[in-house]
Amino acid sequence: MQPSFRFLFALLCIVPLAVLSLPAQNGLYEVKEHAHPPHGWIQHSVPPADHTISLRIGLPQPNFNILETHLYEVSDPGHHRYGQHLSKEEVEELVAPHPESLQAVNEWLASHGIQEDEITRSPAKDWITLTIPIGMAEKMLDTKYHVWKNLKTGDDIVRTTSYSLPIGLHEHVDVIQPTTMFAQFKPFRSTIVKSNEEPSSVINDALGSITNPATGLTVDASCNQTITISCLNQLYNAVGYKQSSTSKNSIGVTGYVGEYANLADLQQFYAEQRPDARGSSFRFISVNGGLNDQSKPGFEANLDVQFALGISYPILATFYSTAGTPPFKPDVITPTNTNEPYSDWLDSVINQVDIPLTISTSYGDDEQTVPESFARRVCSGFAQLGARGVSVVFSSGDFGVGDGNPDPATQTCFTNDGNNQTKFIPVFPATCPFVTSVGATQNISPEVAVSRFFSGGGFSNYFLRPAYQKRAVPGYLDTLEHGTYQGLFNRNGRGVPDIAAQGDRFRIIVGGQPAMIGGTSAAAPALAGFIALLNEVRLRQGRPPLGFLNPFIYSIGSSGFTDILSGHNSGCGTPGFNVTKGWDPVTGLGTPNFGRLKNLV
């Protein structure tokens, strides 16, 4: 345990704790959380009382502020504790609930006949999971569940718009889900299908070369039509870097909603773009019953694995397959987990002793469809990973400032608070201040924000602007004309994205055939591959991994990124935000220059 950690924890132990009242088990109930269903969801039917549901109960983490202090200290290159990451046990001590909260929730569960052997607790005991019939959940939460249908996708889920708890229990419970959450975790990608945009059959420099005016680097002209590993190495100044791997380095890629990484496709991709990696693969880990169906290669999973691993080879790689959110089927009465899958993945990975040092995720959803209480608890999980030395990378979304409708002209962008106000729609988990969010660029001379789809970006309505953005973001806001988009975004919110990378016309292999794909879901794994290489630089010098990246990125690391100066991110019937000099909510601080960054780290 680090000296300052011991001091803070000892100090905490001697400070008198507030006396917490235990709930009267038969006391009055009061609404704990209420939500309006998002646009496009309609109440459809009533689920059978014996349909089972897996409830997750989040208990308060009274010492999270201390964990956050540690996170920023060990992630700040200007702090004397930089790189002194916490252990799994130290993090668990800091997120553990107060014993009185444990007692209060235990008594409440026992009053409904739920025994200890019927529940599962997280290692820190801050989460409790139990699988019970809908009828019992309705009694415990003084609510009524319904089957809700999404008019756009046809998906059915079991949700309620309000739940209650005994008054005395409110202070001992942060959140219970699935209750009011209507989110639909989805990949951020846009697949090219036009015949005139078929992938090139030959990858070479036959078209000559182009010089990027911003960096002076020479790049194959063919990279304007097709992005390969070679293109990214050239564009981001990684040509000639001799890669190796220490036994301590690692990279992870997450897969959700039935996206499976295909081994045969990976080998074909390696043969074409990374011949020295042929024969290598990834470690597969199933989360919550996630499958490894090699008969169903996924565009998203293949994209993420092929580029993240292709750039970072030979660094040890892991692919996580997390079971998604299955639709409600009234004729099959089996336990059904309808939580957002990233929370299941977080539960699993936080419980591991050895976690990949860089993790890329190319999925997310509209922030407003995730209840704020749940978003904050999930975000605290990412903080735990950062405190342990893990760099967590998320794509920023593909629909500009809009609501997920790919046609900016028809986006509605209404709030879900019952007021139907028009507002920009930020994306979660990219808005979590403890992850690094990645926007997308295209072209070589010059490199600009993507134009065929729009790099997600904007400002969180849940999370305030973190300290590491206190200089960069206000500078952008000062460039906006007075009154521009007044009321459409939160000027005090966490700005997204942090950085960017190429995100269009990536050549991948799917089902044995080449394909072209684009989206911020391409930018995130590509960027993660370079972050893994930067960790390799540090580890080979006997230094700890980078961990939570943002304090570095917004300080000494900012000179390692190339500013993008052109583009915008349309949405909600507007042109969205413009790309400007310095940080902007389209491309962040810009794209990486690996040659500079490896000297800075």
Residues designated catalytic: 300, 304, 521
Residue 96, helix vs strand vs coil: coil
The b-or-e profile of 23-32 (16+ CB within 10 A means b, else e) is beeeeeeeeb
Q: ω before 178 within 30° of 0 (cis)? A: yes
| 355/349 Cα distance (integer angstroms) | 7
For residue 309, the tally of other CB atoms under 10 A from its CB is: 30
**Token pair for 222:** 């063919």
In sequence order, what DSSP letters do the residues of 9-58 get, joined into one string?
Answer: HHHHHHSPPPPPPPPPTTS-EEEEEE-PPPTTEEEEE---TT-EEEEEEE
Distance CA 98, CA 355 (A): 27
CA-wise closest residue to 527 among 365, 360, 302: 360
**How far is residue 462's CA from residue 431's CA, in Å, rounded to a whole number?**
8
Radius of gyration from C-alpha coordinates of the chain: 24
Place of tokens 């964990």: 67
Cβ(76)–Cβ(555) under 8 Å?
yes
Sign of torsion over alpha carbons 243, 248, 254, 258:
positive
Dihedral of CA atoms 335, 336, 339, 342 in degrees, nearest 10, equals 90
Distance CA 451, CA 145 (A): 42
Quote the CA–CA distance of 251 and 533 in Å, as a whole number: 10
Give me the DSSP letters along 281-318.
--EEEEETT----TTSB-HHHHHHHHHHHHHHTTSEEE
| Token pair recorded at residue 53 | 């549901």
| Strands 448-449 and 436-442, sheet pairing | antiparallel
∠ CA 278-245-441, rounded to 5°:
75
What is the rounded end-to-end Cα distance, in angstroms, of the chain? 25
Closest-CA residue to 416 (of 55, 212, 161, 153): 161
Instruction: Please identify which residue in the block is written with the tokens 């909603």.
Output: 257
* Coil, helix or strand at residue 186: strand
Residues 192, 441: Cα–Cα separation, whole Å: 16
Q: Which two tokens stand for residue 205?
A: 């420099």
Tokens of residue 447, six digits: 């490199």
